[in-house]
């Protein structure tokens, strides 16, 4: 009986001990959460009151302008962002070499729609990136409209040979996330010209990848298949696409004529720009934060991706201003050649493999300087679970859209060296009004939205630096 009472006492004491331990660890966890929330608030206050991102973006857009890979302006962007990273307080700033494609647009493109009535209607058009130019006199031919690759295949060479194929594939408005619609319709721009050439087409016209009707053509890369002839390829505005389609349906179209002068030159040497804060406890573990330096040549590349560049620099500046010493190394990477080749991302991965670097996390901002909504992630379950444990911190600032989907084209291959990946997720409803078009200017960016995006990246970078993934 005495033995039984002693055993019960021991069990009771054990329960009290377990309860005590649980309460202690619970209190530590709550304290840590509160401490993190306070520091994230400090990040927010510092960034929203002293940010240099908007002024940096103004300089990049207005003093440099379009920054297509291989161009003189792309090199100016390299030199300028080296200076900006040094001014932000980076421990070290260096250049990572890469060879990049050098495509030039040449003279302003021209084109008209010839109606059977004799009327000539000017088209709002631009050459697709990496496309070849037309002969000196342009090309003039009848037009065949298709709304899918299946329709193209059904027509075949008998109805396509010697003609211009018009790919009229609108972005699907039923997708709430406009990037989903872009992914579906973008096949016409990337694969359309080669698929048309397979059946003997002499040119391709692609409906611009824009969510709304307007008169601005949107460029972007096309990819030629070496198994088929390379043919000239242009994009026309959504308004012109609608008009051309209606006239074709009514049987009013005689032909389309267009002339382009674009060409691909030999590859040029260029650089990724990198700035670092060395980690204090686990410096070998690298957190990559980035955007891409290059932009298309029709405008200033403000949203795509000047915003991502200056937001990344701002993360570093804010940490330095707060005298925060990260546990893991924070590496800002401004990638070259995202738009028409991806060579900067390739060079970064290759060096990471060569040096056997340990990459724990990477985040890219390449969805414009619009209001941040959360992070789109490519993470293993355990890492995603840890991300979700911080959701209450993010929710305070409206950053609550956290889901597994994708990250960014420059960083997605870093999964090969162990990195968990994320992309800054913004409100995308207006993004395709400016994407790859003449409307992508500094004036289209909201200072506050831009800074909120930079804060979002800084917040997640701080938490990963402190606790890993």
Helix (H, G, I), strand (E, B) or coil at 323: coil
Please, are residues 442 and 62 in contact by the beta-carbon 8 Å criterion?
A: yes
Please, are residues 278 and 130 in contact by the beta-carbon 8 Å criterion?
A: no
Please, are residues 462 and 39 in contact by the beta-carbon 8 Å criterion?
A: yes
Tell me if residue 338 is catalytic: yes
Please, are residues 224 and 103 in contact by the beta-carbon 8 Å criterion?
A: no
Q: How far is CA 94 from CA 1, 185, 331, 410, 435, in A?
A: 77, 38, 11, 18, 30
Please, are residues 421 and 407 in contact by the beta-carbon 8 Å criterion?
A: yes
The answer for residues whose C-beta is within 8 angstroms of residue 226's C-beta and 6 or more apart is none
H-assigned helices in 64-206: 72-88, 149-160, 178-198
Question: 118-141 b/e with 16+ CB inside 10 Å = b?
Answer: eeeeebbbbbbbbbbbbeeebbbb
Please, are residues 367 and 426 in contact by the beta-carbon 8 Å criterion?
A: yes
Cis before 172? omega within 30? no
Q: What are phi and psi of 236, to 5 degrees?
A: -120, 160
Calpha distance 248→252 (Å, rounded): 6
Q: How far is CA 459 from CA 33, 323, 367, 409, in A?
A: 13, 15, 18, 22
Calpha distance 130→234 (Å, rounded): 11
Q: Which of 109, 276, 285, 338 is catalytic?
A: 338
Calpha distance 97→369 (Å, rounded): 27
Q: Which 8-state DSSP code applies to residue 62?
A: I
Q: What are phi and psi of 127, to 5 degrees?
A: -70, 145
The answer for residues whose C-beta is within 8 angstroms of residue 266's C-beta and 6 or more apart is 102
Burial class (CB in 10 A: 0-12, 13-18, 19+), 59: middle
Q: How far is CA 198 from CA 27, 53, 156, 192, 263, in A?
A: 67, 47, 9, 10, 21
- Residues with a catalytic annotation lie at 338
């Amino acid at each position: 009986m005495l033995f039984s009472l002693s055993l019960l006492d021991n069990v009771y004491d054990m329960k009290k001990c377990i309860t005590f331990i649980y309460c202690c660890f619970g209190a530590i966890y709550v304290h840590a959460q509160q401490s993190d929330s306070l520091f994230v608030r400090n990040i927010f206050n510092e960034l929203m009151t002293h940010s240099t991102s908007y002024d940096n973006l103004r300089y990049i857009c207005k003093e440099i302008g379009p920054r297509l890979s291989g161009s003189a302006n792309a090199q100016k962007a390299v030199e300028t962002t080296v200076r900006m990273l040094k001014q932000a307080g980076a421990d070290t700033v260096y250049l990572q070499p890469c060879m990049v494609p050098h495509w030039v647009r040449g003279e302003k493109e021209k084109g008209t729609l010839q109606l059977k009535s004799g009327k000539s209607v000017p088209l709002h058009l631009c050459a697709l990136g990496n496309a070849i130019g037309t002969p000196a006199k342009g090309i003039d031919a009848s037009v065949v409209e298709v709304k899918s690759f299946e329709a193209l295949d059904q027509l075949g060479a008998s109805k396509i040979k010697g003609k211009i194929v018009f790919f009229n594939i609108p972005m699907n408005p039923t997708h709430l996330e406009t990037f989903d619609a872009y992914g579906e319709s973008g096949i016409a721009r990337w694969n359309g010209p080669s698929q048309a050439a397979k059946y003997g087409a002499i040119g391709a016209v692609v409906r611009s990848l824009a969510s709304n009707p307007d008169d601005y053509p949107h460029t972007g890369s096309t990819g030629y298949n070496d198994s088929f002839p390379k043919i000239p390829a242009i994009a026309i505005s959504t308004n012109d696409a609608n008009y051309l389609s209606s006239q074709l349906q009514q049987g009013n179209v005689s032909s389309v004529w267009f002339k382009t002068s674009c060409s691909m030159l030999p590859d040029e040497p260029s650089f990724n720009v990198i700035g670092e804060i060395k980690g204090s406890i686990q410096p070998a573990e690298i957190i990559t934060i980035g955007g891409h330096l290059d932009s298309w040549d029709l405008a200033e590349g403000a949203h795509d991706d000047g915003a991502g560049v200056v937001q990344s620099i701002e993360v570093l500046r804010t940490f330095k201003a707060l005298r925060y010493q990260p546990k893991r190394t924070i590496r800002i990477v401004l990638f070259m050649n995202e738009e028409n080749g991806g060579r900067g991302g390739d060079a970064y991965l290759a060096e990471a493999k060569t040096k056997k670097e340990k990459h724990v996390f990477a985040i890219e901002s390449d969805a414009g300087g619009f209001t941040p909504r959360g992070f789109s992630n490519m993470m293993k379950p355990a890492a995603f679970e840890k991300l979700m444990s911080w959701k209450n911190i993010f929710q305070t600032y409206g950053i609550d859209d956290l889901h597994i989907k994708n990250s960014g084209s420059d960083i997605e291959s870093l999964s090969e060296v162990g990195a968990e990946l994320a992309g800054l997720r913004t409100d995308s409803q207006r993004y395709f009004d400016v994407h790859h078009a003449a409307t992508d200017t500094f004036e289209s960016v909201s200072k506050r939205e831009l800074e909120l995006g930079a804060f979002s990246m800084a917040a997640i970078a701080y938490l990963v630096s402190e606790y890993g993934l």
